[in-house]
Each structure stands twice: as structure tokens, then as C-alpha cells.
Amino acid sequence: MQDLLIGLFAGMSGLAIGIIGVLAGILALLVVYFIRIHIAYRMAVNRHRDPLGWALLSFFVSPLLTWIILLIVGDQR
């Protein structure tokens, strides 16, 4: 496996490898951020609240803050 990775990156400069690493890190952070937004969406659905509105709030403000607010306001029934 290590030989395969060395072979893949053998012709690349250090700068190119660094750029690929940074882009992979940014992509990983974006995936985690959207998973957190999806959690807020599911929490809103389970509490009978508008899921799209809560997902948008989570996107523009903070997923963690949205989770806390949803826990505080509770079920809409």
C-alpha cells in the first residue's frame, strides 16, 4: 500500500501534494458541517417543526446553537 501511494505522488511536487492535502481537509470539514446541518434537520422533523427553516438557521448561524435551541423549545404539539 505504501509503495502504491509513493508511486502515485512520485511525479508531483511538494506544493502540489500540499494543495491536494489542503483541499482534502476542506472537503472533509464541509462534509462534517453538512452532516451537522442534517442532524438539525432531523431534530426539527422529530419535534414537528419546520425542518427547512431550522436547517437554514443551522447553515447561517451554527449547527450547535440550533441544536441547543431545538432542545429548549421542544415539541410543537
pLDDT digits (tens, 9 = 90+) for 18-37: 888 899 999 999 999 999 99
pLDDT band, very low/low/confident/very high, at 38 (cuts 50, 70, 90): very high
pLDDT, the chain, mean: 90
Total domain count for the chain?
1
The one-letter amino acid at 61: V
68 or 12: which leads in pLDDT = 68
Structural domain span for residue 14: 2-73
pLDDT of residue 14: 77
Q: Which phi and psi (to 5°) does residue 44 adopt?
A: -65, -40
Rounded CA gap, 44 and 34, in Å?
Answer: 15
- pTM of this structure: 0.77
